[in-house]
Amino acid sequence: MTTSPMIEIRNVDKNFGTFRALDTLNATIGEGEFFSLLGPSGCGKTTLLRMIGGFDDPSSGEILIGGRSMAGIPPNLRPTNMVFQSYAIFPHLNVAENIAYGLKRLRLGRAEEEKRVKEALDQVELSELGPRMGNQLSGGQRQRVALARALVMRPKVLLLDEPLSALDKNLREQMQVELRHLQRQIGITFVLVTHDQYEALSMSDRIAVMFGGQIAQIAEPKEIYQNPATRQVADFLGGMNFLTSSHLSVNGKNFAATLPGIGDITGHLAGKTISDPAKAIIGIRPERLRIVWEGETADPIVTGKVADRNYFGEVTSLAVNIEGQNQHLSIVETNDFGADDIPVGSDIRITYDRDAFIVMQG
């Protein structure tokens, strides 16, 4: 993202009593960017979002929106609108009145107001539901009304606090596509809070992964997945085989290591600096390992025994004990060639892409 910055987060701390909820956060979110805050519950992502919206104040540091400091500015005067996790649909108003809620104050005149409400209803495909009362809606409908109610205000920034977590899986996936589509169409900045790594990966332009009140990594989804900065990030986004090596050496932009039972490997540092090679850890994604079937040849080859097998429909996950080592490797293989029929306890041969190893600071 090379657009001008919309939100700047500068050295933001937040203390609740003696508990440090956010610790010196720095981030810049671009105009028109779909930015996600991803992390486990309690990592401070919602607190940060609420600070951008003005519902919490930083203990120190500042937040700028559109170049203006937001210190002391209440939510009603900020150029942001929020989709709340609970949706916060006004139960005493109908859908159209809910959406028109914020417009009333703008005194647009009845015709303009009705036009905007109708546009918003069309945008979220709820045109028929205008007269329905706020407390008579399904989860998906509530989510759409909350979205329309925020978008109708034409904010510079839309804040979304786990907007899809209350929906069932199919509806959630459908809404992910729709939200992404909507964001591209209207072109405003979206800041999404989520604990669902697939949601973050599929929707975002960039992701900030947070742990314990700190940002562990900010990068594009592909970078986050392929080149996680720390062991925690790698662990949180998908599966990862973590391997330790006593002989790790860094050489310019590359590293080399000897892995017991696997052999000598090399890889790119990919922009990382490994300050303490003794504490560094090497990783490989389970899907970068492949089974070498009988009759096939491959180089390199690792041999082992199948210790466990888990069936997931389109793929099967195997845990493999490397021969002569106390080391498990997890493999994910599509079921096209019968990975789901490999018996537990059988011998297995594995190969890997030579460039698939990454190194992380532990």
Structure tokens at 107: 């005194």
The answer for residues whose C-beta is within 8 angstroms of residue 335's C-beta and 6 or more apart is 313, 314, 315, 316
Q: What are phi and psi of 100, to 5 degrees?
A: -80, -5
Provide the minimum distance between the beta carbon of 88 and other proteins in the complex, in angstroms, as a whole number: 4
Provide the minimum distance between the beta carbon of 143 and other proteins in the complex, in angstroms, as a whole number: 14
Query: Is the CB of 80 or the CB of 217 nearer to other proteins?
Result: 80
DSSP state of 224: H
Query: Is the CB of 102 or the CB of 212 nearer to other proteins?
Result: 102
Question: Residue 275 CA to chain centroid, in angstroms?
Answer: 27
Question: Are 53 and 80 within 8 A, CB to CB?
Answer: yes
Query: Is the CB of 26 or the CB of 135 nearer to other proteins?
Result: 135
Query: Is the CB of 133 or the CB of 307 nearer to other proteins?
Result: 133
Provide the minimum distance between the beta carbon of 102 and other proteins in the complex, in angstroms, as a whole number: 3
158-174 burial, b at 16+ Cβ within 10 Å, e below that, comes to: bbbbbbbeebeeeebee
Provide the minimum distance between the beta carbon of 155 and other proteins in the complex, in angstroms, as a whole number: 9
100-124 burial, b at 16+ Cβ within 10 Å, e below that, comes to: bebbeeeeeeeeebeebbeebbebb
Provide the minimum distance between the beta carbon of 195 and other proteins in the complex, in angstroms, as a whole number: 19
Provide the minimum distance between the beta carbon of 93 and other proteins in the complex, in angstroms, as a whole number: 6
Query: Is the CB of 74 or the CB of 295 nearer to other proteins?
Result: 74
Interface residue list for other proteins (CB under 8 A): 53-55, 74-77, 80-82, 84, 86, 88, 90-93, 97, 101-102, 104-106, 149-150, 153
Query: Is the CB of 68 or the CB of 184 nearer to other proteins?
Result: 68
Please tell me the distance from the alpha carbon of residue 296 to that of residue 288, in angstroms, as a whole number.
18
Please tell me the distance from the alpha carbon of residue 68 to that of residue 242, in angstroms, as a whole number.
44
Please tell me the distance from the alpha carbon of residue 123 to that of residue 158, in angstroms, as a whole number.
15
